[in-house]
C-alpha cells in the first residue's frame, strides 16, 4: 500500500508523533530524557523553530512545533532530531537495527483554540496511558510551563495561551481548568488525533485548500470493499 503524501508547507504549526521501532522503549533512564531535551534545544537553535508543547513517553515522543520562513523545513528538523538521538542511543546501548518506527507522523494545526486543544492532548498522554492521574505529576512535559509558570530549556509559550488572561496567575489557572475539562468531558481527548492530516477550523482548512488538496482525516488507500451478494 502506498504511503500518504506528507503535507508540510513552511510557516505552519504541526503536531508530531515519532515512535520507537515496534514500540520499543526509547528512554531507559533520566540521562536519556535529558539528552533528548538537549538535542531539541540544539536543533531549535540551528533551525529556528518554535516548540510549543511536548511530552516524552517511554516509547514515543509528541512535539508541537511551528516552522518559520527563516528556519529549517519540518523534514530537516525531524531528520536532525531523530538521527542525533538514534546515534546517541545506539552507541550507549549497543543497539543494532532500526531505531525509529517508519517515518514520523505530522498533522497541521491552526493557531487558535485548536492549538490549545492539541497542546492539552499532548500533555494528557500519561493520563490516557494511566501512568499518572494528573498531568502535573509527569516530569517530561511542557505542562508545568503553562499550568504553573515553570521555565524549561525548550518550551516557547504561544499567544493563544497568553490570550487566556492578561494576568499571569489567572492565565495559569484557566489553563489548568481547560486541561481538566478535557480530562473530565472529553475523555482526555482519546483518539482525537488519529488519522488526521489537519486539525483546525473550517476557515483554516478552506485556506489551505487554496494551495493544497487536504482532508481533515486521512482516508484509507486501497481497493474499495466489494458489496456482499444478497442471499437468494
| pLDDT score, position 169 | 97
189 neighbors 179 (Cβ within 8 angstroms): no
pLDDT at 229: 39
What's the grid cell of residue 199? 486539525
Whether domain 13-208 has CATH 3.40.50.1820: no
Contacts of 204 (CB under 8 A, 6+ apart): 110, 112, 114, 198
Give pLDDT, residue 186.
Answer: 64
Domain range summary for the chain, segments of one domain joined by +: 13-208
- Number of CB atoms found within 10 A of residue 226's CB: 6
Q: Whole-model pTM?
A: 0.86
With a cut of 70, list the residues of the chain below it in pLDDT: 1-8, 186-195, 213-232
Nearest to residue 49, comparing CAs of 181, 155, 205?
155
Q: Please give, one letter per residue, the 3-state secondary structure of 85-114.
A: HHHHHHHHHCCCCCCECCCCEEEEECCCHH
Beta strands in the chain (DSSP E): 13-19, 50-56, 60-66, 105-109, 198-199
**What's the pLDDT score for residue 91?**
97
Record the cell numbers describing residue 81, joined without a space.
532530531
Half-sphere exposure (CA, 13 Å, Cβ side) for 113?
6
CA–CA–CA angle 41, 45, 118 (5° rounding): 60
Res 11: pLDDT = 82
pLDDT tens, residue by residue, 73-106: 999 999 999 999 999 999 999 999 999 998 899 9
Amino acid at each position: 500500500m502506498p504511503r500518504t503524501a506528507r503535507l508540510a508547507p513552511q510557516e505552519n504549526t504541526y503536531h508530531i508523533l515519532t515512535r520507537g521501532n515496534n514500540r520499543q522503549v526509547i528512554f531507559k533512564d533520566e540521562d536519556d530524557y535529558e539528552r533528548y531535551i538537549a538535542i531539541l534545544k540544539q536543533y531549535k537553535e540551528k533551525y529556528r523553530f518554535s516548540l510549543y508543547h511536548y511530552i516524552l513517553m517511554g516509547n514515543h515522543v509528541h512535539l508541537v512545533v511551528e516552522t518559520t520562513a527563516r528556519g529549517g523545513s519540518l523534514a530537516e528538523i525531524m531528520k536532525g532530531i531523530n538521527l542525533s538521538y538514534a546515534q546517541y542511543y545506539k552507541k550507549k546501548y549497543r543497539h543494532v537495527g532500526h531505531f525509529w518506527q517508519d517515518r514520523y507522523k505530522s498533522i497541521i494545526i491552526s493557531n487558535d483554540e485548536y492549538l490549545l486543544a492539541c497542546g492539552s492532548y499532548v500533555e494528557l498522554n500519561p493520563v490516557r496511558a494511566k501512568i499518572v492521574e494528573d498531568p502535573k505529576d509527569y516530569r517530561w512535559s511542557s505542562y508545568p510551563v503553562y499550568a504553573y509558570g515553570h521555565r524549561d530549556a525548550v518550551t516557547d509559550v504561544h499567544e493563544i495561551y497568553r490570550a487566556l488572561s492578561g494576568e499571569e496567575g489567572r492565565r495559569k489557572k484557566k489553563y489548568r481548568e481547560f486541561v481538566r475539562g478535557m480530562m473530565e468531558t472529553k475523555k482526555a481527548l482519546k483518539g482525537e488525533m488519529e488519522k488526521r492530516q489537519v486539525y483546525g477550523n473550517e476557515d483554516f482548512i478552506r485556506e489551505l485548500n487554496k494551495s493544497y488538496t487536504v482532508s481533515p482525516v486521512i482516508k484509507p488507500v486501497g481497493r474499495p470493499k466489494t458489496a456482499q451478494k444478497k442471499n437468494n
